[in-house]
């Protein structure tokens, strides 16, 4: 898996102070996508074991308290990303007690395969669906267009 950006301290992608990872790879090709540079799987730079360890360390940092981890892109549920994202979300739930996980995907929840659903089982919040330019609404929180749905599984 490749990624474009990792923000160890972020306050705009989800509630509270968070760690946020933007991964590479997206098949959805939404018109008006704000992040087209992330579409190609081989764009960005490799997601390493060192970065995975750093995310866990940042989430457990007691100086700057984070509420949790946000995963966006690109699409964290692109089939090529799923094994890496699954490993990461499992670690967060096992090693970072009390931290929540938010994930943005262009798939609708009803379209997910079994491997993608396994990732979802570790999430607290998921925002699903493609960005639809005709339904763009700047007043919405955490989503770009009104067709997208915020699934709150635990919070
Ligand atoms: S799902 Fe997100 S990243 Fe992918 S094309 Fe649509 S808006 Fe862009």
**What's the average pLDDT block by block, 10 residues per block, for the chain (155 residues)?**
98 97 97 95 98 98 97 98 98 98 98 98 98 96 96 95
Q: What is the DSSP letter of 145?
A: B
Pocket test for ligand 1, best of 23, 77, 106, 134 (most atoms within 8 A of CB): 106
Q: What is the sign, positive or negative, of the torsion defined by CA atoms of 126, 94, 89, 70?
A: positive
Residue with tokens 């999430």, as numbered in its chain: 123
Q: Which pLDDT value is given to residue 87?
A: 98
What is the C-alpha to C-alpha distance for residues 76 and 109, in angstroms, rounded to an integer?
13
Residue 22 Cα to ligand 1 middle (Å): 12
pTM exceeds cut of 0.95: yes
Burial class (CB in 10 A: 0-12, 13-18, 19+), 55: buried
Please name the residue whose Cα sits nearest to atom 3 of ligand 1: 74
Q: Give the position, in ligand 1's atom list, of the atom nearest the Cα of 104.
A: 2
What pLDDT score was predicted for residue 155? 87
Strand partners, 6: 21
């Amino acid at each position: 898996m490749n990624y474009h950006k990792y923000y160890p301290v972020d306050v705009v992608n989800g509630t509270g102070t968070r760690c946020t990872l933007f991964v590479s790879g997206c098949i959805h090709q939404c018109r008006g996508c704000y992040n087209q540079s992330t579409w190609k799987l081989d764009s960005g730079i490799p997601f390493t074991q060192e970065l995975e360890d750093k995310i866990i360390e940042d989430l457990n940092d007691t100086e700057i308290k984070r509420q949790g981890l946000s995963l966006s892109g690109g699409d964290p549920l692109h089939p090529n990303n799923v094994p890496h994202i699954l490993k990461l979300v499992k670690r967060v739930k096992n090693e970072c007690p009390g931290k929540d996980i938010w994930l943005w995907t262009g798939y609708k929840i009803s379209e997910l395969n079994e491997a993608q659903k396994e990732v979802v089982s570790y999430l607290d919040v998921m925002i699903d669906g493609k960005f639809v330019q005709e339904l763009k609404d700047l007043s919405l929180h955490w989503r770009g267009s009104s067709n997208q749905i915020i699934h709150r599984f635990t919070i």
